[in-house]
Structure 1
Amino acid sequence: MKKMLALSIILSLLMSMGVYVNEEQRAQAATIPFAHPGILHTQADFDRMTQMVNAGTQPYLDGYNQLVNSAYSSSNWTPRATATIIRGGDGDNVSLLYIDVARAYQNALLWKITGNTANGDTARNILNAWSSTLTTISGNADRYLAAGLFGYQLANVSEIMRGYSGFNVTQMQDMLLNVFYKPLNERFLIGNEFGGDHNDAHIQNYRANWDLCNMAATVAIGIFTDRLDIYNIGIEYFKHGAGNGSIYNAIPFLHPGGLAQWEESGRDQAHTQMGIGLMASTAEMAWNQGDDLYGWANNRFMRAAEYVAKYNNGDDNVPYATYERGTGTNGAVQTETVISSESRNEPRPVWEMIYNHYANRKGLSVPNIAARAQLLRPEGGPNSGTSHASTYDQPGFGTLLYTRPSGSGGTATLPGGNIPDGTYRLIVRHTGKALDAAGTANGSSVQQWTPNGGTNQQWTVTHLGGGQYSVKDVRSGKFLDIASASLDHGAKFQLWSSNGGDNQKFAFLPVGSGYHRLTPVHSNKSADVDGISTADGALIQQWRYVLGNNQQWRLEPISVNVRLQSYNNSNRYVRHSNYRGRIDANVSPVQDSQFKMVAGLTDSSGVSFESINFPGRFLRIRSNGEVWLDSNDSTTTFKNEATFRRVAGLADPQKSSYQMWTDSTKYLRHSNYLLYAQSGSGSTFNGDATFTEVAP
């Protein structure tokens, strides 16, 4: 990706006005990877559309005619911007916003394709009117839907108009950050100073589409405002988020035949298709920035889209597994036992984007998606004949916007996994006992047992790609496996020879404080200590995640090769240089920044960091607090000074911080790029003392 200078300019302006800019923002200014335009459309996309429309090529021309004939494409429009938008409850006026957003988008598209400045001026005027007027989005809980759906669409049309004469980019960026993102999108997904996540409800209360629209807004706003930190929140939530919109929770069950069940399938097909469209939109934005979320978790989204398309095309031969979720504030269980036919075959213009990615970019067979796209081709846009907000959930016109030649390919890559390969001990939170293989034969049970250092309590974790892992018992060489590939509650964890099945693939989903859900990818149910038992020998089963400590696991490294990425200088890594510990970018040779994270020299529950290219030398805290790469002299003093407690990150509990073994008030941190062990507090110290463990 071309490195962009926009944030550097913005930060310089902020500093000139006396606004504080922290070290992390400075680092990001030099390394922003965003391509512009790059939300739902790139310049190459617009060049293709223009060429094909001018040549009269189908189906582009039919798609273009849908756009031209839309009532919302007229350049004769006066914006209806207002200071407060209300969705849900008394005074609901959200139609003012979503109709203007649709008009701005369609005029922006016509300007990009035809060069007609009347359309461009109209789009600009609508955007400027709203960014200078809107201060509040209010209403009942539906305000989060408004902020998500129309936040991502506003960012998308603003991205198209970036650079247009008279468009106030800074004003729109400020409005999106302070009216949409911070008080609503971010608060809903992960919580912040505006309140708890998910509107203070149980984490599973809101259906997938609520998360997905706010996730789409987070990614889109991050791109438009050149905020890599915001973009990364959306991408991370897609992969590992706690709510129902993250990929494993939105797609809980894998079925035979390349199908996967959608979270809202037992509710109705309108919300199901809405969610499919929103997940596709987030994946498309990420793709345009070089991140392949379409392929994440072994094309899990493709399997879900095939499932939803198959059923909505009229095929009743789709499997369905009973789905449960927690509701309200206390997690009361709601159960859905059959797929819902409500709103079946409702036409939603979301399928061209999905079809053209998997079939034409990637060359994959997606027969059900292909049939669904063909049925709705050419896709139109919002329906001006109805006032119901659902017709504005998606911007539409996919036939024009996303039709691509076969074999068009692309350059996006799968993000890396979140757990470095290596050998670990897995410790369950509620007892501190270890995941233990009871035997060595196929079918041997897996249980919890007091840690004893045995190889039957050591597991080799290997990234298979797309955030999925195999977990192999060191003693037997056999793999962690769910008996009979069952989707049922209570199915037992066992050992089995490798067979490549989804029931032998796992995701490690962070739950905070350094713990993870160990999740079989075929069922999205967690490794669970049966009966919440505290006894040695209690069996491990799969069970719906209910936030239990008996479902949360800490990975204690036995031998893991890592690089330690600075939290607040994300292009810098811990390294040794002339044996002094520091953080640097572009480390050469790269082995200077690679370490073997091993069981602590003083205590196996801690960790020590051995140099890869200088075996026998470890990161060690000297008496003056400086960190050096020193040779192990096997003394008690050295072992203590080279052992750390690995704890949840001070700045981000999904990352790691490292306490001195002999002084828990002191943490490994960087200061002026050099490493020390020091005490401290505050956001700067916490960021300096937080690191991400990444694969070399």
Structure 2
Amino acid sequence: MRKRALLAAFTALVAVGGAFGVRLATADAAPITFSHPGVLVSRAQLDFVKGQVTAGAQPWTAAFNQLKASSYASLSRTPKPRATVECGSYSNPNNGCTDEREDAIAAYTDALAWYITGNAAYAQKSIALMDAWSATIKAHTNSNGPLQTGWAGSVWPRAAEIIKYTYSSWPNSARFATMLRTVYLPTVIVGSSSNGNWELPMMEAAVGISVFLDDKASYDRAITRFKARAAAYIYITADGAQPKYPPVGSVDTTSELISFWQGQSTFVDGLSQETCRDFVHTGYGISAISHVAETTRIQGEDLWPSLQDRMRQALGFHTKFENGTAVPSNICGGKVTKGLGPISEVAFNALHNRLGIAMTNSQTYTESRRPQGTNNLFVAWETLTHANNPA
């Protein structure tokens, strides 16, 4: 357990430094000035999408029509805020959890619709949804509270960034910022020792919130933790004989690691910590990694080059089986539970189109599932925003 003791000592040192206003030197420094809108999508990316939809080009027009036809884009939607959102394991109980997530996705949906169409009614509906929650919510409780905070906290800043920096007026934007700072950030910034599908969306939320708040210290802290967790979530042979240990928690022996990796003891390029659990949860982790990487690119740090080997291997490995390749006996006992979800567009665009990496399995998976819609949690409309987007 010596490693954990050293980590605890280092954590204490970081805390002391923070208490005295000392910023430890790190390669993960936040930009001098944040770029806005800059959470997952930039203004240049939005302008590209708007131009493609206006021209009737595909797949963006089909993706936008999918967005407009969804309940999330309804201008008659009534927000359902709660002071306390209580989320138990496997959504039992579900007191406001679905409502919060879907209202956040709706706010983001409306923000995208506003920018693409110029119809102010969408901006005003997005604002109404965000204002309703910022006037009401105080806490997330029960066992899935941190995960819920990460899911909703990942989406709110996407909507808020677009509205604040492209629409003419949002009188309650400061109250919304206070909500993010007091209700969401304290929970997500500390991370989790649970599975990666928890901690990676929590770090995504922390990064996005930090951008919206122009909070350099929180951004640095979240990125540092994110990098460690992403490296421990996807295995590549460069890691050595086994995956990296997670940055916090009690997993620090090989036997504990194998148990944490769902009993998988054969490690191959692209395997994730949750592959042998199911591809749905694995997709959550991969998606969150791609979202954070894309936000860092917009903010001028760009983690895509440093993540490219893990992410291309992870996408290629999982999409190969989604596309029909038989699962070998040394992977999850020869049987996997598929369901990766609509999570490949952001990474495929970054790795294949921008970095020029050949990704046959990922391309087949991505293009055959267009337009990719939403998982109703924290992934939404990524064919529209990121398919072949050069910006």
TM-score band by shorter chain is 0.7 to 0.9
Task: Determine which of 208, 217, 233 is the counterpart of 2:221.
Answer: 233
Question: Offset of 1:180 from its aligned partner?
Answer: 0.9
Asked if 1 retains the 8 angstrom alpha-carbon contact of 2:105 and 2:378, the reply is no
What SS does structure 1 have at the residue aligned with 2:81?
A: coil
Task: Determine which of 211, 214, 231 is the counterpart of 1:248.
Answer: 231
Task: Determine which of 345, 352, 356 is the counterpart of 1:363.
Answer: 356
Q: Normalising by structure 1, what TM-score?
A: 0.46
Asked if 1 retains the 8 angstrom alpha-carbon contact of 2:278 and 2:336, the reply is yes
What SS does structure 1 have at the residue aligned with 2:39?
A: coil
Task: Determine which of 100, 123, 137 is the counterpart of 2:103.
Answer: 100
Aligned partner of 1:229: which letter? A
Equivalent residue for 2:201?
213
Aligned partner of 2:53: which letter? V
Asked if 2 retains the 8 angstrom alpha-carbon contact of 1:349 and 1:394, the reply is no
Question: Offset of 1:395 from its aligned partner?
Answer: 2.9
Task: Determine which of 154, 159, 162 is the counterpart of 2:161.
Answer: 159
Distance 1:22 1:372, change over 3 A: same
Question: Offset of 1:338 from its aligned partner?
Answer: 3.0
Question: Offset of 1:175 from its aligned partner?
Answer: 0.8
Task: Determine which of 345, 353, 374 is the counterpart of 1:352.
Answer: 345
Task: Determine which of 358, 379, 385 is the counterpart of 1:395.
Answer: 379
Instruction: Within 5 Å, give how 1:131-280 maps onto structure 2.
Output: 131-140=134-143, 142-163=144-165, 164=167, 165-182=169-186, 184-187=187-190, 189=191, 198=192, 203=193, 206-240=194-228, 246-254=229-237, 259-280=269-290
In 2, the alpha carbon distance for the partners of 1:284 and 1:303 equals: 18
Distance 1:271 1:33, change over 3 A: same
What SS does structure 1 have at the residue aligned with 2:65?
A: helix
In 2, the alpha carbon distance for the partners of 1:47 and 1:364 equals: 25
The answer to whether residue 324 in structure 2 is matched with residue 314 in structure 1 is yes
Equivalent residue for 1:622?
none
Asked if 1 retains the 8 angstrom alpha-carbon contact of 2:34 and 2:299, the reply is yes
Deviations 1:132-191 (A, max 9, x none): 111111122x11110111101111111111143124222111111111111x1123x2xx
Instruction: Within 5 Å, give how 1:436-475 maps onto structure 2.
Output: none
Aligned partner of 1:65: which letter? N
> Unmatched 5+ residue regions in structure 2?
1-18, 24-29, 239-267
Deviations 1:607-630 (A, max 9, x none): xxxxxxxxxxxxxxxxxxxxxxxx
Question: Offset of 1:307 from its aligned partner?
Answer: 0.9
What SS does structure 1 have at the residue aligned with 2:237?
A: strand
Equivalent residue for 2:259?
none
Aligned partner of 2:159: which letter? V
Equivalent residue for 1:338?
333
Aligned partner of 1:238: which letter? F
Equivalent residue for 1:80?
80
- Larger RCO of the pair (alpha carbons < 8 Å, separation 6+): 2
The answer to whether residue 299 in structure 2 is matched with residue 285 in structure 1 is no
In 2, the alpha carbon distance for the partners of 1:22 and 1:172 equals: 29
Distance 1:216 1:340, change over 3 A: farther
What SS does structure 2 have at the residue aligned with 1:137?
A: strand
In 2, the alpha carbon distance for the partners of 1:144 and 1:56 equals: 41
Asked if 2 retains the 8 angstrom alpha-carbon contact of 1:265 and 1:339, the reply is no
Task: Determine which of 103, 118, 127 is the counterpart of 1:124.
Answer: 127
Q: Normalising by structure 2, what TM-score?
A: 0.79
What SS does structure 1 have at the residue aligned with 2:388?
A: coil
Deviations 1:308-362 (A, max 9, x none): 11122221256856xxxxxxxxxxxxxxx536422x1x26111111111111111
Deviations 1:605-658 (A, max 9, x none): xxxxxxxxxxxxxxxxxxxxxxxxxxxxxxxxxxxxxxxxxxxxxxxxxxxxxx
In 1, the alpha carbon distance for the partners of 2:22 and 2:181 equals: 18
Distance 1:48 1:86, change over 3 A: same
What SS does structure 2 have at the residue aligned with 1:392?
A: coil
Question: Offset of 1:263 from its aligned partner?
Answer: 1.0
What SS does structure 2 have at the residue aligned with 1:292?
A: coil
What SS does structure 1 have at the residue aligned with 2:373?
A: coil
Q: Identity of aligned pairs, percent?
A: 29
In 1, the alpha carbon distance for the partners of 2:108 and 2:308 equals: 33
In 2, the alpha carbon distance for the partners of 1:166 and 1:57 equals: 32
What SS does structure 2 have at the residue aligned with 1:372?
A: helix
Deviations 1:533-592 (A, max 9, x none): xxxxxxxxxxxxxxxxxxxxxxxxxxxxxxxxxxxxxxxxxxxxxxxxxxxxxxxxxxxx
Aligned partner of 1:219: which letter? V
Equivalent residue for 2:255?
none
Aligned partner of 2:363: which letter? A
Which structure: greater helix fraction?
Answer: 2
Question: Offset of 1:24 from its aligned partner?
Answer: 6.4
The answer to whether residue 384 in structure 2 is matched with residue 374 in structure 1 is no
Which structure: greater strand fraction?
Answer: 1
Instruction: Within 5 Å, give how 1:473-484 maps onto structure 2.
Output: none
Asked if 1 retains the 8 angstrom alpha-carbon contact of 2:101 and 2:378, the reply is no
Question: Offset of 1:53 from its aligned partner?
Answer: 0.7
Aligned partner of 2:203: which letter? M
Aligned partner of 1:174: which letter? T
In 2, the alpha carbon distance for the partners of 1:31 and 1:285 equals: 12
What SS does structure 2 have at the residue aligned with 1:260?
A: coil
Task: Determine which of 313, 327, 330 is the counterpart of 1:303.
Answer: 313
Distance 1:291 1:31, change over 3 A: closer
Question: Offset of 1:23 from its aligned partner?
Answer: 5.9
In 1, the alpha carbon distance for the partners of 2:31 and 2:101 equals: 34
Equivalent residue for 2:64?
64
In 2, the alpha carbon distance for the partners of 1:151 and 1:162 equals: 17
What SS does structure 1 have at the residue aligned with 2:361?
A: helix
The alignment yields a C-alpha RMSD, in angstroms, of 2.5
Q: Which moved more, 1:274-283 or 1:88-97?
A: 88-97
In 2, the alpha carbon distance for the partners of 1:54 and 1:298 equals: 33
Distance 1:261 1:253, change over 3 A: same
Equivalent residue for 2:251?
none
In 1, the alpha carbon distance for the partners of 2:295 and 2:216 equals: 13
Aligned partner of 2:336: which letter? S
What SS does structure 2 have at the residue aligned with 1:338?
A: helix
Aligned partner of 1:185: which letter? V
Distance 1:185 1:31, change over 3 A: closer
In 1, the alpha carbon distance for the partners of 2:307 and 2:130 equals: 37
Question: Offset of 1:31 from its aligned partner?
Answer: 7.0
In 2, the alpha carbon distance for the partners of 1:394 and 1:90 equals: 20
Instruction: Within 5 Å, give how 1:502-513 maps onto structure 2.
Output: none
What SS does structure 2 have at the residue aligned with 1:86?
A: strand
What SS does structure 2 have at the residue aligned with 1:270?
A: helix
What SS does structure 2 have at the residue aligned with 1:267?
A: coil
Aligned partner of 2:361: which letter? N
Question: Offset of 1:295 from its aligned partner?
Answer: 2.0
Distance 1:66 1:128, change over 3 A: same
Aligned partner of 1:338: which letter? G
Question: Offset of 1:378 from its aligned partner?
Answer: 1.1
In 2, the alpha carbon distance for the partners of 1:277 and 1:298 equals: 14
Asked if 1 retains the 8 angstrom alpha-carbon contact of 2:72 and 2:106, the reply is yes
Asked if 2 retains the 8 angstrom alpha-carbon contact of 1:100 and 1:126, the reply is yes
Instruction: Within 5 Å, give how 1:571-586 maps onto structure 2.
Output: none
Asked if 1 retains the 8 angstrom alpha-carbon contact of 2:31 and 2:300, the reply is no
Segments of 4+ moved more than 4 angstroms: 21-25, 317-321
Question: Offset of 1:297 from its aligned partner?
Answer: 5.1
Distance 1:156 1:167, change over 3 A: farther
Equivalent residue for 1:55?
55
